[in-house]
Amino acid sequence: MFDSIGIQYAGRQLSGLQKTMNNPFANLGIILKEGNKRFQRSIGLSSGPSFSEFVDPKLRNDAEIVSKAIRHFGSSVEYLLFKYKKNIIHEQMLLKRLADSAIDIYSMVVVISRVTRALNKNLNSAGIEMNMCHVICNEVRIAFIILSLFYSQY
């Protein structure tokens, strides 16, 4: 499960960033780029993916929900890796919450993709599928799971 939700990849990326911090003047461009990305994220500016241009206009709000969820997921993974480092493997409840969030994000992407196809092909079920998509994207538990990662006390 640890590798399937991308934590090992994120850990390798952060490990590389940590190595660049050992010699900051030689790697000033990388450090400034990462610092700028984190600063933009901290003040609420978007730096992540946006699916709005790839979906039907009726689904743009749902696509924005997915984009925000992906950005929050990435921030949560980075936060937990900074906090627990290699000991993250002993935090099974946190990893379960991350895995649940990844499943929810995947589900939302799949539903939006299916509804976009149905709307593009003018299928009879497109209206019902669109309503189900709105419900899934608005009622999914990602926000609660990710927020609980920041405030969990063990």
The pLDDT value recorded for residue 8 is 66
Task: Indicate whether this model's pTM tops 0.75.
Answer: no
CA distance 47 to 36: 10
Closest CA to 145 of 95, 84, 79: 95
The pLDDT value recorded for residue 64 is 87
The pLDDT value recorded for residue 95 is 86
Structural domains of the chain, ranges and CATH numbers in brackets: 7-151 (1.20.140.10)
Q: Name the residue type at position 108.
A: M
The pLDDT value recorded for residue 30 is 66
103-107: Cβ within 8 A, 24+ apart: 104/69, 104/140, 104/141, 104/142, 104/145, 105/66, 105/69, 105/70, 105/73, 105/142, 107/136, 107/140
pLDDT along the chain (154 residues), means of 10: 56 61 64 68 65 89 86 81 84 85 90 95 95 88 61 48
